Amino acid sequence: MTSTGLFITLEGGDGSGKSTQAELLSTWLTDAGHTVVRTREPGGTELGVELREIVLHRRGHIAPRAEALIYAADRAHHIATKVRPAIERGEIVIQDRYLDSSVAYQGAGRVLDPVEIRNLSLWAAEGFMPDLTILLDLDESIGRERLDEARTKYDRLEAEAHDFHARVRAGYLALAEAEPDRFLVLSATGSIESIAAQVRARVEALLAA
């Protein structure tokens, strides 16, 4: 098959299964003959790895606006040096988190202005938007249970209180409601294969178009 440049992002709360679905989608597309780039935010570039360490693992308080700016800096460099060039080569980028994460986590979670956070991200990324955003929706209590089973140490955002993660989930759902054509919202409580099949069906439609 001839590769068609496509930008696909996966979003959702902690423990929703984004990495699993990204891997399944990447394998399916690669087997079909497409060139796929797997990446993430923060941390999709060498600079991004350093910024990720600061924003997720630094000990001590980071002011909410400073946190938002660190994510925006990572995004600006990541889009300019990795994502946009791959799309222009006709490759398919599958990315774990993008600007919707900032709006949900820093906007809703940190109770900053979601519009300002979105505009900051759009400025950083020069307006670059995904063709498809897959939102894996999960009750925050179930997400916490999954994390508890998978690890013993949490990053700065995973360690936030229940109310924070409830606001994040509500923020995501509000974003999806505002842009239904871009979002595919799936319950993260479904089976891995059922979710993967629904994702493939939507991506097939995009490729056919």
1 within domain boundaries: no
> Quick one: average pLDDT of 32-43?
97
Strand ranges (DSSP E) for 65-166?
A: 92-96, 132-137
105 within domain boundaries: yes
Distance CA 119, CA 96 (A): 20
Q: How many domains does the chain have?
A: 1
Distance CA 92, CA 113 (A): 32
39 within domain boundaries: yes
Burial class of residue 31, CB neighbours in 10 A (0-12, 13-18, 19+)? exposed
Cβ-proximal residues to 60 (8 Å cutoff; 6+ apart), any chain: none
Match 């993008």 to its residue by tokens: 98
Could you say which DSSP state residue 38 is in?
E
Whole-structure pTM value = 0.93
pLDDT at residue 2 above 50? no
Q: Which domain holds residue 138?
A: 6-208
The pLDDT tens digits of the residues spanning 15-29 come to 899 999 999 999 999
**Both tokens of residue 127?**
């307006």
153 within domain boundaries: yes
157 within domain boundaries: yes
The pLDDT tens digits of the residues spanning 51-67 come to 999 999 988 899 999 99
CATH number assigned to the domain comprising residue 159: 3.40.50.300
What's the pLDDT score for residue 152? 64
pLDDT at residue 153 above 80? no
Of 138, 178, 129, 144, which is closest to residue 8 (Cα–Cα)? Answer: 129
What's the pLDDT score for residue 1? 37
Q: Would you tell me how many other CB atoms lie within 10 Å of the CB of residue 146? A: 17
The pLDDT tens digits of the residues spanning 67-85 come to 999 999 999 999 999 999 9
47 within domain boundaries: yes
